[in-house]
Structure 1
Amino acid sequence: MVSSCKLTRCISCTVIDGIKQWRAEGLPLTTPSDEACKMFDATVTQIAKTCEDPTVGGTGTTLQKMLEADPNFVLGLALKNHLSRKKSFNDAKYAAELDQLVALAEKQNVTSREKLHVQAIKLQAEGEGMKACQVWERILVDHPHDILALRFAYMSYLVSGQSAQIRDTVCRVLPQWNISHPLYGYLLGLYAFGLEETNLFDQAEKTAKKALELNRQDSWATHSMTHVMESMGRTREGETFLSATESDWAPLSHVTYHLYWHWSLYNIEEGNFENALSVFDSKIASHLKNSGSWFTMTDATSILYRLEFEGVNVGDRWKTIYDFCVGHPWEHTWAFEDAHLLIGCSRGKDQEKCKQVMNSLKDFAEHGQGDMKRLTSVSIPLLEAIQCYEAEDYAGAIDILLPIRYNIIQIGGSHAQRDVFNLLLLHAAIKSKEPVHHKIARSLLMERRQLKEKSPMVDRLLEKVQAAISAES
């Protein structure tokens, strides 16, 4: 049994009886094991902090110890299932495990809160992420300190592009927290990102700063700050900020390599392409090889695609991404990933794989289920536009993208992540041979200028477009 740990928030390590402490928190756990409570707490704490804590062995170790202490711990099993949910919707074994979990919850007569968690986990595993969010929100009405329900809803809103809900799910519970709670600062970090995604930049920056004053190693608050600076065009300041705080956020964070992605974006915006490639090579490409992370694949793809938009020769760097794309199963659990998967196969010059990706997605549109099936009305045309661009059919890409550009938010990710598709449209318009498309490019750049006044990228591209328009006059 763990007698102590160095986590800021580890309820069960503050007393001998973890069961009683969780009950006192108003979040009773149905398990006879104090050790299971402690390891559950340690796991949830790391999730809340967006980190892996070596003092307890990381989330893999705490999950394992939790279920060793109580193999029938319902909420613990629900947590484990959720963290391993990157499964095909048609995975019969996984579905059977969830059915067994539901039956176990009924047999044990667990609390209504725990039953709702199990219900939400099952819904999300079936692809019904938004219905799962409704259940997590129901939990938060009665249990605003249930950080697990909050984090699960929050991340589901993020992968479905629900910007206002990213903000408001925290908004609704924040007044019922206070600074005495060990995780309060991390809640502010979550809130700051929601504020940024809804264009409340000043408020987002103040909130992120407050979170970092409480916890300088809060990588999600750091992430929120990088978004503020990117959105406002404060890229040089962003580079300085990341450089000055790297020792705080780089070790053991779940978003470390995504923060390096932001660092690359700053360099691309400023035209420092060699610096962007250096970050890609030293941080992101190596992590993709070692981790097998789909999230890192999207970051890596995005960097190289943006650099090629700028005319940069990236050499053979696409091979790492292509090897990943063809070596992992295509599960269509996140439309944002599907788009980057197609780009990776396209840049790998594998037309057969590209056809397989499109056919797989169209088959999913017919036979799949849940939110992602409904979203194929946006994701399929987006992928078709990517194919047009890759085939140098720039007019075709424009014809597809212009009508859906304001619907692409539904594929999820942040505004900064989805901006690669704004750039796809913009560069298709620049490369098109039709004069009207050059004027569309100019209009898009004027729009971009209004939203981000300080943008070296806009300066570069406007010069190119104006030269094309002048030559046609």
Structure 2
Amino acid sequence: MTRSDRYDLPLSTDSDLAAERYRAGVDLLLSLWPGAGEALDEAIAADPNFALAHAARARLHAVSAQLTEARAKIAKAAELVAANGTERERSHVETLSYAIHGQGQKALASALAHTDKWPRDIVILSMPLGAFGLLAFSGMANHDQARVDLCERHAHHFGADDWWFLTYRGWAHGENGDVKLGRALTERSLELRRHNVNAVHAVAHVLHESGANEEAQTVISGWLPEYPKSGVLHGHIAWHGALIALERGDTERALGIYNEHVAPSSSLGTPVNIVSDTSSFLWRMQAYGHAVPAGLWDDAARYASGYFKDAGFPFADFHMALVAAATSNSNAVEKRVDSLNQLIQEGKLPAGPVVPEICRAALAFAEEQYSLAANILEPVAHDVVRIGGSGAQREIVEDTLLVALMRSGESKKAHELLNKRLHRRPSPRDSRWLNELSSADIASR
């Protein structure tokens, strides 16, 4: 009897137990819920020659930033699939291997070709999607639209109530500007599978993009206690709650969430999440005019010093620049900018000049050279999407530009940007800033 995955794709294993544990493990992997590793290890124990179980375990190691283990597992999967795998399984393993070995462009091309032939192979279809997916980190300016196009091209292969596809389809539409559809899809996915971290994460984002902060806070507060703190995105989901409190000006609550869930001493997330969440929260807090308690920036810098030492990962490069700029380490920012410019000259940085420019702007802003920061950011702000991540994560660049404009006396430009943001969604903070600008303009006449 042929064993198959949840989408009826055949699996090269003779063990019913291995197939069942693989199906369970993949569901846990793609919902980012704890237990995936144990389920996949049980699949491997039931059939040590089951290549896709080794491949899925490699993918989980990669998601958890355990690169050595990921490479060992994918090498074993490649050895096994060469001996007894199908064409689909060989392509599946090869695509994962490209990604695990840092060959992003090859991985993306391979994933797109693979899913054209086997669109219901969701381990591979998941790879180009999401905030940290292959499309987001491709350096493309239109990766948000590309995710929508990919989902819509394959939507007819999935049922209306497929929790996994609803999550990623909703995420894609929400990030691309259709927050109404994104919300409907992601909320339905969370109803179908509550222990789906990617779904609650997507819901938090579409609520942020629609300005529904109180609803987002209710969702996060009601859901997060169910998610073990060991979960890879626990700290990041809490980060959303901290930003909501900061939006309201409730710094006590924002710092309470940060210290309990987000700070390096509290979070058990991956380095890219911890570096980006800590630096972006503290930077926003300071930029919004609140005092950052002593020691918090130093703690963030101490943690970050162990990671992303080499330039070339744009999303991390920018957040590392925030940490260095905020802690007066101008040499580190300048060295990273020089390295990024060298990569551009060598044709090795697809995201392009926006990366070193936003790093330079961060340093100028931290040194209170607000006119310079604004002058650097204005020409490149539209290209920030190239660094990847989500709209909510990249918004810190626009926040920095806006505050730089206000502090450098560019009230007309600040008015225009605030009106544009408020047209997109309501924001108590932006409304307050707009009122302050208007009052200052009246007083100066």
TM class, shorter-length? 0.7 to 0.9
> Matched residues in 1 for 2:77 and 2:90: separation?
10
Please state how far the C-alpha of 1:472 moved relative to its aligned partner: 5.3
Pairs aligned (count): 437
1:311 counterpart residue number: 289
Letter in 1 for 2:36: T
> Matched residues in 2 for 1:360 and 1:95: separation?
27
How big is each residue's C-alpha offset from its partner over 1:372-426, in whole Å with a ceiling of 9 and x where there is no partner?
x222422111111112212222222222211111111011111111100000111
Residues 231 and 268 in structure 2, CA contact (< 8 A), matched pair in contact too:
no
3-state SS in 2 of match to 1:152: coil
Unaligned runs of 5+ in 2: none
C-alpha distance 347-23 of structure 1, shift in aligned 2 (>3 A):
closer
Q: Which moved more, 1:310-319 or 1:285-294?
A: 285-294
Tell me if 1:199 matches 2:177: yes
1:60 counterpart residue number: 37
1:357 counterpart residue number: 336
Tell me if 1:142 matches 2:114: no
The alignment's TM-score, normalised by the length of structure 1, stands at 0.81
The alignment's TM-score, normalised by the length of structure 2, stands at 0.86
Please state how far the C-alpha of 1:122 moved relative to its aligned partner: 3.7
Letter in 2 for 1:178: G
Unaligned runs of 5+ in 1: 1-16, 53-57
> Matched residues in 2 for 1:331 and 1:118: separation?
28
Please state how far the C-alpha of 1:146 moved relative to its aligned partner: 1.2
Letter in 2 for 1:296: I
Identity %: 24
Tell me if 1:404 matches 2:380: yes
Please state how far the C-alpha of 1:457 moved relative to its aligned partner: 0.8
1:14 counterpart residue number: none
C-alpha distance 127-400 of structure 1, shift in aligned 2 (>3 A):
farther
1:417 counterpart residue number: 393
Tell me if 1:79 matches 2:56: yes
| Selected match of 2:147 from 149, 163, 166 | 166
What pairs with 1:3-82 in structure 2 (closer than 5 Å)? 20-22=2-4, 26-31=8-13, 34=16, 36-52=18-34, 58-68=35-45, 73-82=50-59
How big is each residue's C-alpha offset from its partner over 1:61-115, in whole Å with a ceiling of 9 and x where there is no partner?
3444444555554434443444444899xx9999899778656644x15222122
CA root-mean-square deviation? 3.2
1:8 counterpart residue number: none
> Matched residues in 2 for 1:24 and 1:446: separation?
48
> Matched residues in 1 for 2:340 and 2:376: separation?
17
> Matched residues in 2 for 1:322 and 1:24: separation?
44
Tell me if 1:447 matches 2:420: yes
Letter in 1 for 2:86: T
Letter in 1 for 2:333: C
> Matched residues in 1 for 2:193 and 2:78: separation?
38
3-state SS in 2 of match to 1:336: helix
What pairs with 1:73-222 in structure 2 (closer than 5 Å)? 73-85=50-62, 105-106=81-82, 108=83, 110-125=85-100, 127-154=102-129, 155-160=133-138, 162-178=143-159, 184-222=162-200
3-state SS in 2 of match to 1:169: helix
C-alpha distance 349-210 of structure 1, shift in aligned 2 (>3 A):
same
> Matched residues in 2 for 1:461 and 1:300: separation?
24
> Matched residues in 1 for 2:316 and 2:6: separation?
42
Letter in 1 for 2:24: A
1:9 counterpart residue number: none
1:321 counterpart residue number: 300
3-state SS in 2 of match to 1:208: helix
> Matched residues in 1 for 2:61 and 2:344: separation?
24
Please state how far the C-alpha of 1:175 moved relative to its aligned partner: 2.3
C-alpha distance 67-96 of structure 1, shift in aligned 2 (>3 A):
closer
Please state how far the C-alpha of 1:228 moved relative to its aligned partner: 2.2
Letter in 1 for 2:189: A
| Selected match of 1:336 from 289, 301, 315 | 315
How big is each residue's C-alpha offset from its partner over 1:25-84, in whole Å with a ceiling of 9 and x where there is no partner?
5422334555544443333111222211xxxxx233344444455555443444344444
Please state how far the C-alpha of 1:280 moved relative to its aligned partner: 0.5
